[in-house]
Amino acid sequence: MADTDEDSVYFIPDNSWFPIGIAVGLFLLVFGLGSWLNEIKAGEEPSLVAFYAGALIFAVVLYRWFAAVIDENLAGLPNARVKRSYVWGIGWFIFSEAMFFAAFFGALFYTRVLAVAWIGGEGAKGVTGDYLWPEFETAWPVVNNPDPSVFANPRESMAAPSIGNWLNYLPFWNTVILLTSSVTVHFAHTAIKDEAQGKMTLWLGVTVLLGILFLILQVEEYLEAYQELGLTLSSGIYGSTFFILTGFHGFHVTLGTFMLFIQLLRGMRGHFRPHDCFGFEASSWYWHFVDVVWVGLFLFVYVF
Amino acid sequence: MSDAVQDYAHEVVHEDHGPAKGLRRWLFTTNHKDIGTLYLWFSFLMLLIGGSMALVVRAELFQPGLQFVDPQFFNQMTTNHGLIMVFGAIMPAFVGLANWLLPMMLGAPDMALPRMNNLSFWILPFAFGLLISTLFMEGGGPNFGWTFYAPLSTTYAPDSVTFFIFGVHMMGASSIMGSINIIATILNMRAPGMTLMRMPLFVWTWLITAYLLLAVMPVLAGAVTMMLFDIHFGTSFFSAAGGGDPVLFQHIFWFFGHPEVYIMILPAFGIVSQIIPTFCRKPLFGYDSMVYAVASIAFLSFIVWAHHMFTVGMPLAGQLFFMYSTMLIAVPTGVKVFNWVSTMWRGSMTFETPMLFAIAFVVLFSIGGFSGLMLAITPADYQYHDTYFVVAHFHYVLVPGSLFSIIAAVYYWLPKWCGKMYDEGLGKLHFWLSFVGVNVTFFPQHFSGLAGMPRRIPDYALQFADFNMLSSIGAYVFGFSQVLFLYIVIKTIKSGEPATGRVWEAAHGLEWTLASPAPYHSFTHPPKVVLAEAHS
C-alpha cells in the first residue's frame, strides 16, 4: 500500500457545485429556523417555507455529495493517501463533537458543584445567595428551585434508585442496549473483514434495531418526565442540564443510527471490501463515540 | 477537421489543469489557491466593513457628549465591529494564507479535502450576511458586546439575537471544517523528506492553531446553544432563579475566548518567523525552541481563561491560580521575541515593506504583551478592568500584532501569488501611515484607561477629551491608509513589474522553488526535500 502512495497522484476532485449547494441549504435552514423561533416567541403564525426549503436542499445535496464520493471510490480514483485524509477527517470531527458535549458536561459540573452551593449560601460566594433566596437549600438534583415562581419545580427527578432496583430503571436498560450495540457493530466489522456478507447484514441490522430501541425508550422516558414527573426544560437547572445532555445525545444516536442504516444498505449492495470499508468504519467509530458519551451521561446525569 | 479535434483535445487537457472561466471558477472551485484568494478578499471586505464601524465609534468619541449616533446604535457598532474583525477579518485572512501557502510549503498538490475546503469558505458570506442583516431588523442588531455576556445577550437581548446565534453556529462549522482540512493536509500531504521538525514555522503554528480551533469552536457552539435554549425554551443555564449562573456563561465563553485570541496570534508568529530570516539573510535562531514555545503557549491557553473575569466574583484560590498561570505565558512568549531579535543580531538586514511590518510586529506586539502582564495581576486588574486600558491592550496585540502580520504576509508572498512585484515606495508609505496611525490611535488609550475611562460607553468625562480626540484622528489616518493598501495590491496585480521565482534574495522554503506566479496545481508530483529548502 505505502509504495503506491508515493507513485500515484493524489486525487483532486473537479470543480463541484456541492459545497455552494450545502452553504445555500444551510443558510436557508438556519434562517428559517431562527424566523420560526422568533415568530413563536412573538405569538405569530410561523412561516416555514425557508426552513423546509433549506432542509430539502441540504438533504438532496448531501445525498448527491456522498453518492459522488462513493462512485469515485468504486471507480478507484482515491489512493490510500486520500483515504488516510478521510480517516484524519472523521477522527478529528469526532474530537470536535466530544468538545461540544464537554461544554454541557462543564455546565453540569459548574452549576452542580459550585453555583447551586453558592446560591444555597455555602462557601466564599454564599453571601449573595443567602440574601436573595434565604429559603433555598443546596441539594442535587435541584427539585426546589431558588425562585419557583419563575422556574416551576419538578415533582421528581430522574436520579437513579439504589443499585438493587436497577432492573426496573429505564436508563439502566438503555445503557445495556447501547453497550451491546457497540459489540454488535464490532461483529459486523469482523464480518466485513471475513468477507461474510450474511453475518455482516445480520449484525449491522441488529445494531440498527438496538439504536432504534434505545430511541423508543428515550421517548418513553421523556414522556414520563413531562407527563408524570413535571420535569421539563423549564423546571430549573436540573431539567436544563438533564434535557440538553440527554437530548443532544439522543440527536446523535439518531444520526448514528441513520448512518449505520445507510451502511447496511451499502453493505447489502456489496460496497465493502476487507480493506476498503471507510464509510462503515467512520459510522462505527461515530457509534462508539456516541456510546462512550452515554456512559458519561449515565454516570454523571443519572447515577451520581 | 483534425486540427479542430486536436484543439479540442488540447482544450480539455488545458481545462484539467487550469481554472474554469468566469463566476463558475469561484463558486465551484476545489483549488487551494482560488479558495485562498476568496478567503483573502472576503476578509479584506470584512476589514473595511468592521473598520467603518470602528470609525463610527471613533467619530462619536471625537468629543465628549452625544453628537452623531444614538447610544443604542453605538452599542451595536462596538459589538459588530468586534465580531466582524475577529470572526470575519482576522481568522479568515489566516485561513486564506494557510490555503495559499500550506500546499506550496509542504510540496503537496492541493489541500487534503478540496471540496470541504470550498464549503468552509462559502459558509462564511452567508454567516456574515446573516449577522450584518440583523442591524436592519426590528429592535436592531446585537448590542451586548462581542463577548455577549448573559443576561445581556439572553433576557435583555433584541430579537435578532436568534440570528446572531445561528450565525455563530455557521462560523463555527466553517472553522471546524477548515481546521480538519489543515490538520489532514499537514499530517498527510508532506513531501518525502519534509519531516515535522523541518516544516516551516508558518506550517507549525497553523497545525497547533487548528488543534486549538477544534478544541474550542465546539465549546462556543455549546455556549450559544445554551443561550438559544434560555431564550426560546425556558431553560435556566444562565439564570440564578432556576439554579443556574450568569457567571457560568463567562466561564464557558472565555474557555473558548482565550484560546481564540491565540488562534488569532499563533499564525502571526509563524508569518513573522518566515519573514525575519529572509531579510536578515540568516536562518531563524532557535527553530526547535520556537516550535516548543508555540506548543507551550497553546497548552497554557486552556488554563488561563478566568483572568478575563477577575472582578466577577470568584474564590480567592481561583484568582490566584489564574493570575499565576497567566504570567507563565510570558515565558514561552519571551522565548519567541528573544529568538526573533537574535535572528536579527548581526544579520545583513534590509528593510523592505514586509520586513518593516514584521519588525513593527515584534516591537508593538511586545508592548501589547507587557500590558497583558499588567492586566494579569489580579489586584491591579480591579482598577484596569473594563477600561480603555483593556481596549488599548488587545488592540495592540490584534492590530499591529495579527493585522500587521497579515499585511506583511501579503507583501511578502504577493509576488509569488500573482508573479508581479508591488511598488516598494508605496509599500513603505503604507507602512509608515499605518505605523503612525495605529500608535496615535491606541497609545493614548492606555492613559485614558488608567485614569478610569470605561469602555463601550458613547460619552465620557471632560478630562478624557484630549486623548480621545487624538485617538480618533489616529483611527481615521489608520483606516484610510488601508484604502492605499487596496490600491497597492490592485496596482500590483494589474501592472506590477514581473517577479522572479525566488522573489527575495535569501528566501528559503519550497514555495520559492516554484515559478512566479505559482502553477495552478502546486506540486503534482511531490519534490524531494533537502534541509536547506525545508525552512528558513
For the segment B81-136, what is each residue's pLDDT rounded down to a tens digit? 999 999 999 999 999 999 999 999 999 999 999 999 999 999 999 999 999 999 99
Answer whether B236 sits within 8 Å of A107, measured CB to CB.
Answer: no
What is the rounded CA–CA span in Å between residue B517 and residue B420?
8
What is the rounded CA–CA span in Å between residue B104 and residue A294?
43
Banded pLDDT at B494 (limits 50, 70, 90): very high
Closest CA to B395 of B376, B371, B414: B371
B-chain CB neighbours of A31 within 8 Å are 130, 163, 166
Place of cell 436573595: A132
Answer whether A9 sits within 8 Å of B225, measured CB to CB.
Answer: no
Whether B12 has a pLDDT exceeding 60, the answer reads no
**19-78 in B: which are within 8 Å (CB) of A?**
20, 24-25, 27-30
The CA distances from residue A157 to A152, B354, B401, B479, in Å, are: 13, 63, 51, 57
State residue A136 phi and psi, 5-degree precision: -70, 130
Cα-Cα-Cα-Cα torsion B474, B476, B481, B482, nearest 10 degrees, comes to 120
DSSP codes joined into one string, B232-298: HS---TT-GGGT--HHHHHHHHHHHHHHHHHHTTHHHHHHHHHHHHHHHTSPPTTHHHHHHHHHHHH
Determine the residue type at B17. Answer: H
Whether B158 has a pLDDT exceeding 70, the answer reads yes
Closest CA to B210 of B241, B179, B168: B179
DSSP codes joined into one string, A191-234: HHHTT-HHHHHHHHHHHHHHHHHHHHHHHHHHHHIIIII---TT
Do the Cβ atoms of B118 and B202 come closer than 8 Å?
Answer: no
Provide the pLDDT for residue A124: 78
- Does residue B232 sit at the A interface (CB-CB below 8 Å)? yes
Provide the pLDDT for residue B19: 83
The contacts of residue B505 (CB under 8 Å, 6+ apart) are B281
Model-wide pTM > 0.90:
yes
Provide the pLDDT for residue A123: 84
For chain B, the average pLDDT equals 94
Do the Cβ atoms of B188 and A71 come closer than 8 Å?
Answer: no
Whether B2 has a pLDDT exceeding 50, the answer reads no
The contacts of residue B126 (CB under 8 Å, 6+ apart) are A23, A24, A26, A27, B170
Do the Cβ atoms of A283 and A82 come closer than 8 Å?
Answer: no
β-bridge mates for residue B421, sequence order: B497
The CA distances from residue A142 to A152, A153, A239, B237, B477, in Å, are: 11, 8, 9, 13, 57
Which of B184, B223, B231 is facing A89, going by the closest CB pair? Answer: B184
Q: Which domains does chain A have, with CATH numbers?
A: 13-77 (1.10.287), 78-303 (1.20.120.80)
Q: What is the pLDDT of residues A71-90, one digit of tens each?
A: 999 999 999 999 999 999 99
Q: What is the pLDDT of residues B391-439, one digit of tens each?
A: 999 999 999 999 999 999 999 999 999 999 999 999 999 999 999 999 9
What is the rounded CA–CA span in Å between residue B517 and residue B239?
57
Which of B28, B162, B241 is facing A20, going by the closest CB pair? Answer: B28
Place of cell 501592472: B495
Q: What is the pLDDT of residues B511-531, one digit of tens each?
A: 999 999 999 888 877 787 776
Whether B9 has a pLDDT exceeding 60, the answer reads no
What is the rounded CA–CA span in Å between residue B228 and residue A25?
21
The CA distances from residue A172 to A143, A302, A303, in Å, are: 22, 9, 10
Q: What is the pLDDT of residues B183-235, one digit of tens each?
A: 999 999 999 999 999 999 999 999 999 999 999 999 999 999 999 999 999 99
What is the rounded CA–CA span in Å between residue B67 and residue B370?
35
Q: What is the pLDDT of residues B239-258, one digit of tens each?
A: 999 999 999 999 999 999 99
Whether B322 has a pLDDT exceeding 50, the answer reads yes
Do the Cβ atoms of B97 and B409 come closer than 8 Å?
Answer: yes
- Which residue of the set B34, B60, B230, B260 is catalytic? B260
What is the rounded CA–CA span in Å between residue A66 and residue A283?
13
Provide the pLDDT for residue B17: 58
Domain range summary for chain B, segments of one domain joined by +? 34-534
Place of cell 440570528: B163
Angle at B183 between CA B177 and CA B189, to 5 degrees: 120
Whether A255 has a pLDDT exceeding 70, the answer reads yes
Cα-Cα-Cα-Cα torsion A260, A22, B171, B128, nearest 10 degrees, comes to -160
The answer to whether residue B33 is catalytic is no
- Does residue B272 sit at the A interface (CB-CB below 8 Å)? no
CB neighbourhood size of B102 (10 A): 29
Q: Complex ipTM, two decimals? A: 0.95
What is the rounded CA–CA span in Å between residue B434 and residue B479?
8
Using a CB cutoff of 8 Å and minimum separation of 24, what contacts does B19-26 make?
Answer: B19/B520, B20/A15, B24/A15, B25/A15
| Residue A151, helix vs strand vs coil | coil
State residue A276 phi and psi, 5-degree precision: -145, 80
The answer to whether residue B502 is catalytic is no
What is the rounded CA–CA span in Å between residue B399 and residue A123?
42
Domain B34-534 CATH superfamily: Cytochrome c oxidase-like, subunit I domain (1.20.210.10)
Nearest CA in chain A to B526: A6
**177-216 in B: which are within 8 Å (CB) of A?**
179-181, 183-185, 187-189, 192, 214-216
The contacts of residue B379 (CB under 8 Å, 6+ apart) are none
| Residue B351, helix vs strand vs coil | coil
Q: What share of chain B is helix, strand, coil (3-state, %, to 5)?
A: 75, 0, 25
Do the Cβ atoms of B357 and B328 come closer than 8 Å?
Answer: no
Per-residue burial over A55-64, b if 16 or more Cβ lie within 10 Å, else e, is bebbeebeee
Consecutive H or E run containing B368: helix B353-376
First-to-final CA distance of chain A: 48
A-chain CB neighbours of B113 within 8 Å are 85-86, 89
The contacts of residue A261 (CB under 8 Å, 6+ apart) are A208
Per-residue burial over B155-168, b if 16 or more Cβ lie within 10 Å, else e, is eebbbbbbbbbbbb
Consecutive H or E run containing B497: strand B497-498
Answer whether B159 sits within 8 Å of A236, measured CB to CB.
Answer: no
The contacts of residue A123 (CB under 8 Å, 6+ apart) are A117, B315
The answer to whether residue B346 is catalytic is no
Answer whether A65 sits within 8 Å of B115, measured CB to CB.
Answer: yes
- Does residue B275 sit at the A interface (CB-CB below 8 Å)? no
Do the Cβ atoms of A89 and B184 come closer than 8 Å?
Answer: yes
| Beta pairing class for B420-421 and B497-498 | antiparallel
Place of cell 450474511: A198
Determine the residue type at B169. Answer: H
A-chain CB neighbours of B181 within 8 Å are 89
CB neighbourhood size of A53 (10 A): 16
CA distance B92 to chain A (A): 16
A-chain CB neighbours of B110 within 8 Å are 10, 12
CB neighbourhood size of A291 (10 A): 19
Answer whether B235 sits within 8 Å of A243, measured CB to CB.
Answer: yes
Whether A304 has a pLDDT exceeding 90, the answer reads no
The answer to whether residue B232 is catalytic is no
Answer whether A146 sits within 8 Å of B243, measured CB to CB.
Answer: yes
Provide the pLDDT for residue B360: 98
Under DSSP, the state recorded for B191 is P
The contacts of residue B385 (CB under 8 Å, 6+ apart) are B310, B311
In chain B, DSSP finds a helix count (H) and a strand count (E) of 20, 2
- Does residue B138 sit at the A interface (CB-CB below 8 Å)? no
DSSP codes joined into one string, B380-428: HHHHHTTBHHHHHHHHHHIIIIIIHHHHHHHHHHHHHHHSEE--HHHHH
Q: What is the pLDDT of residues A12-58, one digit of tens each?
A: 999 999 999 999 999 999 999 999 999 999 999 988 999 999 999 99
Provide the pLDDT for residue B15: 41
